[in-house]
Amino acid sequence: MTLNIDPISLEVFRNAFESSADQMALILMRTAHSPIVRDAMDFSTAICDASGQNLAQGLTTPMHLGSFVDAMRHLIRQYEGRIATGDVFIANDPYLASGQHLPDIYVVRPVFEGMRLCAWAATIAHHVDVGGLVPGSNSLGAVEIHQEGLRLPFVKLAEGGVLNAIVLDIIAANVRVPDQVLGDLHAQMAACLVGEREMLELFARYGADTVMMYGDALQDYSERLARAAIAKIPDGTYRFSDHIDGLGENPQPIRFEVQLIVKGDELTADWTGTSPQVKGGINAPISFCKSNVYAALRCVMPLDVPNCHGYTRPIHVVAPEGSVLNARYPAPCGARGITGYRIVDCVFGALAQALPDAIAADGAGGSTLPSFSGWHEGKRFVFSECIMGTWGATSRHDGQEGVPHMASNQANVPVEMIECDYPIRIEQYGYAADTGGAGKYRGGLGVVREYRMLTDEVYFGVRSDKAVHAPHGLFGGAAGALALNVIRSATSERKLPPMPMVPITLSRGEVYRHVMAGGGGFGDPLEREPESVRTDVLDGKVSPAGARSAYGVVLDGDVRVDTAATRSLRASRAASGRATGA
């Protein structure tokens, strides 16, 4: 076929693919049953070409962006010659299906034009429970994947349009809240059906050959733009290290080491030196490692780069097998999300050396994932959510607050929805003063969330981080405040490690309090405008004592800047080389 690509038509097809993926996302969100999918929006949708490469992804979770291609290629190899119209496939296993972790279930549908396979409508959603050791299936204490829940290789959930009730029965028998899990699976199937419909309409209007030709051209166009963006990064090797606090009561740091090697229009992320895989559920499969590297680098590319597989072609990822970023069977992966966040943070840390004006200081380190389960009004409940979040400051503005990590794009579940559906009352939801790292631009404040139990014998588990290793500042900016997890009763208060490996039982009236880490600051705090500090004090974001100790700003009794005292204090601090106080 002679290629005759019209740039205007290419943009039309790009938007058509993206619109189709967004339509899928809206259908999935509006028909899902569980809060973690419906409200927290922990899911993604994609239109893929016949070979399984992303043509477009819905406006959902960036860290899923690069995960579809490995799973789709696995599926196509496994079922070559046995894929037909009306089939629907399901899988979740990292080792049997190139999946992410067991709660993330793929549901995908082939799109045929006549007898020819031309595209795929694909979804991935985090399910509230898939069985295993603990409710929510995010067990930090698992030592192998067999303890984490129901493992699904790629199997046909429907064949020729006929639903496979046996598969649904097996799933229902292995999960704690089958109504929600099956409801979310049906929402995924509905989204795939919409994706198929949208693509068939394109085929009918333009012809499948033309649509597929422009799909290939879009991949090449995205690659060209990505290469141009990488070529603007100065050649060199940029190194950065970071940590996950560790597992259990006596956490040992889990180290991440990255070298970003930029040479011309290609970039390699080499993770040699990263900690070995651990006997706990935070290991990542290599596909997830790649996906997060892709997501981080996409953040520093121009907006006009299409979010399709083509932009990943000049990006190479090296992660030693058996490391926490390329786990070897049967390593558990249930809580691997925190590992993905740290991958992105490390890439940003390295890029800050090459692109200081394009990178924010470190943020809260990703979502905190609390899980609660018990019995209420005669029914089993499981509730998990992804608490977001705050960013570090940039060279141009303070860190944003109440926002997801750049790798997610998810949301906190509304307080009203939690209190309506579960025996839990949200006692506090807001920001914690003095948690943003000081700087010329201040880091965002940590989010506070408190959950009071309204029933007895509630299972509780949490995956959090940054309680030991604070979010770093950049170019003289101070670190953000550490995260905190506390269980409070009427008579006592108990501080928890960031990732307890032993299940905790909460009683009626007990409160789980979480304070997320604050974002890091950017630049010298003594260069922050005193009036900006005063505004922060009036807004309750910084205390008067914090204004003095962190910024050298003195306020009088009427909360006005004492200019002379401020000038004197800052001069004294600058002379002593001490930019910030305690």
Residue-wise pLDDT for 202-229, tens only, equals 999 999 999 999 999 999 999 999 999 9
Count CA within 13 A, CB hemisphere, residue 17: 29
Q: How would you class 19 by CB atoms within 10 Å of its CB: exposed for 0-12, middle for 13-18, buried for 19 or more?
A: middle
What's the confidence (pLDDT) of residue 335?
Answer: 95
pTM above 0.85, yes or no: yes
What's the confidence (pLDDT) of residue 2?
Answer: 43
Determine the average pLDDT of the residues in 503-514.
97
Determine the average pLDDT of the residues in 488-510.
96
- Cβ atoms of 476 and 579 within 8 Å: the answer is yes
Q: Is the pLDDT of residue 1 over 60?
A: no
Count CA within 13 A, CB hemisphere, residue 317: 23
- Cβ atoms of 365 and 472 within 8 Å: the answer is no
- Cβ atoms of 507 and 453 within 8 Å: the answer is yes
Which SS3 state, helix, strand or coil, does residue 129 take?
coil
**5-40: per-residue pLDDT in tens?**
999 999 999 999 999 999 999 999 999 999 999 999
What's the confidence (pLDDT) of residue 468?
Answer: 96
Q: Cis bond leading into 153, ω under 30°? A: no
**376-430: per-residue pLDDT in tens?**
999 999 999 999 989 999 999 999 999 999 999 899 999 999 999 999 999 999 9
Domain ranges of the chain: 7-224, 360-523, 529-576
User: pLDDT confidence of 578, banded at 50, 70, 90?
Assistant: low
What's the confidence (pLDDT) of residue 566?
Answer: 97
What's the confidence (pLDDT) of residue 34?
Answer: 97
Alpha-carbon span 63 to 67, nearest angstrom = 8
Identify the DSSP state of 79: T
Q: Is the pLDDT of residue 255 over 80?
A: yes
Determine the average pLDDT of the residues in 356-372.
96
**60-105: per-residue pLDDT in tens?**
899 998 889 999 999 999 999 999 999 999 999 999 999 999 999 9
Tokens coding 143: 């030592």
What's the confidence (pLDDT) of residue 580?
Answer: 45
| Cα 427 to the center of its chain, rounded Å | 26
**522-540: per-residue pLDDT in tens?**
999 999 999 999 999 999 9
**422-471: per-residue pLDDT in tens?**
999 999 999 999 999 999 999 999 999 999 999 999 999 999 999 999 99
Q: Is the pLDDT of residue 311 over 70?
A: yes
Q: How would you class 500 by CB atoms within 10 Å of its CB: exposed for 0-12, middle for 13-18, buried for 19 or more?
A: buried
Which SS3 state, helix, strand or coil, does residue 295 take?
helix
CA distances from 345 to 76, 392, 441 (A): 33, 11, 19
Question: What integer best gives the mean pLDDT of the chain?
Answer: 96
In the chain, what percentage of residues exceed pLDDT 90? 96
Helix axis angle for 7-31 and 178-206, nearest 10°, is: 160
Q: Which residues pair with 56 in a beta bridge?
A: 47
What's the confidence (pLDDT) of residue 322?
Answer: 98
Helix axis angle for 286-298 and 68-78, nearest 10°, is: 140
What's the confidence (pLDDT) of residue 3?
Answer: 64
Q: Is the pLDDT of residue 581 over 80?
A: no
Backbone phi and psi for residue 194, each to the nearest 5 degrees, phi listed first: -65, -45
Determine the average pLDDT of the residues in 541-559.
96
